[in-house]
A and B are shown apart, each in its own frame.
Chain A
Amino acid sequence: MELTFIKPFMFYFFASLTTGSALMVVIIRNPLYSAAMLVLTFFSLAGIYVLLNSEIIAVLQVFVYAGAIMVLVTFVIMLLNLRSGALINKPTHIIRSVVAVIFSFLLFICLISIFVSGNQVENAPKGVITAAAIESEGSFQLFSRALFSEYLLPFELVSLLLTVAVIGVVVLIRGISGAEENKQAKKGQGR
């Protein structure tokens, strides 16, 4: 509890780290470094989740995003052979960049003006998962209980989704390896 006064500094530290590394993802031209910067973004976001008292999401963030997804991405970068030069970003056309920046800046202004200036009413229903409840029962327990009772149907649907993804990847990649084998077999015959 004595850590309360440190919280704002932690927030600003993680927030600037997140924003900075996210900007670097966009700016850096080598995708491998972009991916590395994205990992940093994910880690600092995990810090933000801890500040928000949501440990389970922080853990999942590190496992799923920084662990699984980014490993997959770097693996693909490796597979595509970075040295061939096909992966390096070409400099973007200046007009496109300017238009993109203006568009996202406008989006930013619109959203911020709505959220900050608006007189947000505070009468959304409050739940029971208070900080005290998390303290006594633990974030993980509360989370998993909700996941397997209230949110059982979407949970099952997500499992269906993952099945679909697995089938899809097999369909896409199996054909390629089959084709390569055929090519090699043909080469062998040619000799």
Chain B
Amino acid sequence: MPESLHIFQITETHYIVLSVILFCIGTAGVLIRRNALVIFLCIEIMLNAVNLALVTFSRHMDQNRGEVFVFFVMAVAAAESAIGLSLLIVLHRQKKTVDVDEINTLKG
């Protein structure tokens, strides 16, 4: 076990490992779930993992560039969620489903 992973001394590596775990949970969720809404929620988990990594690095290097970046990521996430959810509503009005596998009008 490398130096940086002491159990009772929380270092930057701990936070990064947590961020990687979250990111991978999000990725798995996106690939497993077929409900567009839940896929969207899983993507939010991934974005939060990114935020955690950015804040960790930012604090570790005594800067606030990473924190400012997190602010932008949050704004972007808000904008995206507005668009994505309204697309979802439009879809649900046309066809009473949010299942990605059931929306398959597009085939070759």
Q: List residues of chain B with CB within 8 A of the CB of A182.
A: none
Contact with A along B48-72 (1 / 0, CB 8 A): 1001100110110111110110111
Within 8 A of B (CB), among A91-147: 92, 96-97, 99-101, 103-105, 107-108, 111-112, 115-117, 124-131, 133, 142-143, 146-147
Please report the C-alpha to C-alpha distance between residue A162 and residue B9 in the assembled complex, in whole angstroms.
41
Interface residues on B, range: 35 or more
Q: Are A26 and B29 in contact (CB under 8 A)?
A: yes
Q: Is the CB of A127 within 8 A of B29?
A: no
Chain A residues whose C-beta falls within 8 Å of the C-beta of B48 in the assembled complex: 41-42, 45, 65
Nearest Cβ on chain A to B99's Cβ, whole angstroms: 7
Q: Contacts A25-B45, A72-B85 given; 11 further ones with Cβ under 8 A?
A: A53-B59, A64-B77, A73-B85, A86-B97, A100-B28, A103-B27, A104-B31, A107-B24, A125-B61, A126-B63, A143-B68
A57 is contacted by which of B33, B55, B63 (Cβ under 8 Å)?
B55
The residues of B that contact A116 with a CB separation of less than 8 Å are 2, 4-5, 13, 17
* Residues of B near any A CB (own CB < 8 A): 2, 4-5, 7-10, 13-18, 20-29, 31-35, 37-38, 40-42, 44-45, 48, 51-52, 55-56, 58-59, 61-65, 67-68, 70-72, 74-83, 85-90, 92-93, 96-99
Interface SS of chain A? helix
Chain A 64-97 interface residues, beta-carbon cutoff 8 Å to B: 64-65, 68-69, 72-73, 76-77, 79-80, 84, 86-87, 89-90, 92, 96-97
Give the chain A neighbours of B5 by CB distance below 8 A.
116
Q: How far is the CA of A68 from the CA of B38 in the complex (A)?
A: 17
Task: From A48, A60, A97, give the contact of B15 (CB < 8 A).
Answer: A48
Task: Report Cα–Cα, A60/B54, bound state, in Å.
Answer: 14
Complex interface residues of chain A between 149 and 177 (CB less than 8 A to chain B): 150-151, 154-155, 158, 161-162, 164-166, 168-169, 172-173, 176
In the complex the two chains form, is B20's CB within 8 Å of A11's CB?
A: no
Q: For A15, list chain B residues within 8 Å (CB).
A: 14, 18
CB closest chain-B residue, reference A107? B24
Contact of B86 among A38, A96, A128, A173 (CB under 8 A): A173
**Contact assessment for A130 and B62 in the assembled complex, using a CB-CB cutoff below 8 Å:** yes
Give bound CA distance, A119 to B81, whole Å.
39
